Structure 1
Amino acid sequence: LLLSTLTGLQETYARIDDDWWNHQWPYRILLQVNEAGTITNELNFSQEFAKLGISNALLDLRSLRLIPTTAGIPGDPIPFEETFSQIISDADELILSTSYDEMGWGILEESTDFEINSTPKTQGEGSLHAHIEITDTTQHDFGFYYNLVGSPFFDLSDYDVLLYDIYPSISEDLINTKPELVYFEFEGVKNCRDEFINGPELMMNNWNKIDFPLRPYGICAGPDLSRINKIKFFFKKDNFNYSDAAIMDFWMDYLRLYDQEANGQITWNAEENVDAYYLYFDVLRYQYILPLVFR
């Protein structure tokens, strides 16, 4: 295969005579292709947004679609690889944190057990399965976390969005307060009154794809994210109805971060009979008080 890397050559505006693939995707970039084969384009979305006049926007990374166009007519989306996001955990294997400075998953107390399941999953080989049993001895706050101490992600100052996929399976009659089912915390965040915030309302027995803009953090406009020990996903015992015991199951997959200021690459296989390739995308839309986007 031929390998071609092109940088700084992207055009924000498409050729006028090329049809728009899907108007639910409001933006597109014309990528550069010199020859058939494996092609890599380097992009900086902060710079691209400045060209579009939307400098304050955040990319919806999940919205990226690569569309081939021939004779002005767009085709179907094609596969590609991207390096815009940095993976914290792909959940293909169980990596546990057994000490303060060891990167990996951990439990807040003994009610939670971990394993890797091959299904359900959203990518890769598997997902993290957290099996939780609530009893009279369960602590008031319980759940699980990912330890960042000793990892490249200890300092989150440069990152803009945290992305993860979560699949809850809980009996409906067990839940008292759906909107506050899962709480979220960056342990170690500074300049904020509260370390934890309410999570989104989740659809049961479905994958919920969460995009978490890091600023603002809840109602905190300027969080200091330079020393984040753990990313916590936890629950409050008072939000659940239980008698002797109650069971909850959660699957987590594809925990990653996105830095919009950094350059990233998109790589795909270009074909000879295609005139142009466009990268379509949208931006995140979220409320200030609850900075979570979920589908």
Structure 2
Amino acid sequence: MTRIIQSLAEISAPYEALFVDLWGCVHNGFAPFPTAVQALKDYRAKGGIVVLVTNSPRHRGAVEKQLAKIGVDPDAWDGIATSGDSARAAMFEGVVGEKVFFIGDPKETSFFDPIKIVENPAQIQRVPLTEAEGIVCTGPFDPTADPRELEPQLIYAKNKGMKLLCANPDIVVDRGEVREWCAGAVAQLYTEMGGESLYFGKPHPPIYDLARRRLAQLAKVPDDGILCIGDGIGTDILGAMGEDLDCLFITGGLAADETRTTGGQPDPEALERFLAKAQSAPMFSIGMLR
């Protein structure tokens, strides 16, 4: 049974580092959650290390700029590991070929920025689908539209045997009060159609390998000294459990309705039903990070 806590400080003392999800935990896409930012600042003030681990398809430099733009205090974190960085490394290693068809926001092309961590990187070219060797997906063209609108392109790609590189395994995200589809929804659809999707963010191992490398640049911390924090039961919590890392489930994010998180905390019975259905067992739970 998960333990519902009142604050991060209640359980943080044994942990030397935190792997913290961003969207739904630290901000809502438009503005930071003040109590979450303060909790992380307080944790760092006591000597703890905070690595932000996000399924953003952007590289860490772009995420850092986004955080500054929406007003997240840089004193709340030490390092950043993104799904985008893991996926970009794989792309430049040529896992889906050199000629790729891009599915995503036309403005979100920083994914294709040059990379330094791959020796002899592939010469990636964005081309029409009919000329492509594989697909790179950072999200739907329109995040508010049904991903099934992409079925014609995905059917063509599947019949050609293309692999789809998914830069963000999240299915949905809440931007303020609006729920939007993510690249994970497109990859899930492609897999259901019989295509092959490659994942690099939570809950899959590559992003945790990257997060540990980011942490190792700051301090040597054993796995039992790391606490993962997130609101995605199928990404943040599933990934942490798969890595055998302790985790804190933020119930007031994506699962706010299912866990009846009102007035700051989840309903215990609703939370237990939700976790049982998800076959998940986070060590701790809290309504919002504070």
Place the TM-score, normalised by the shorter chain, in its bin.
under 0.3
The TM-score, its normalising length taken from structure 2, stands at 0.27
The TM-score, its normalising length taken from structure 1, stands at 0.27
Query: More relative contact order in 1 or in 2 (CA 8 Å, sep 6+)?
Result: 1
Larger Rg: 1
Higher fraction of strand: 1
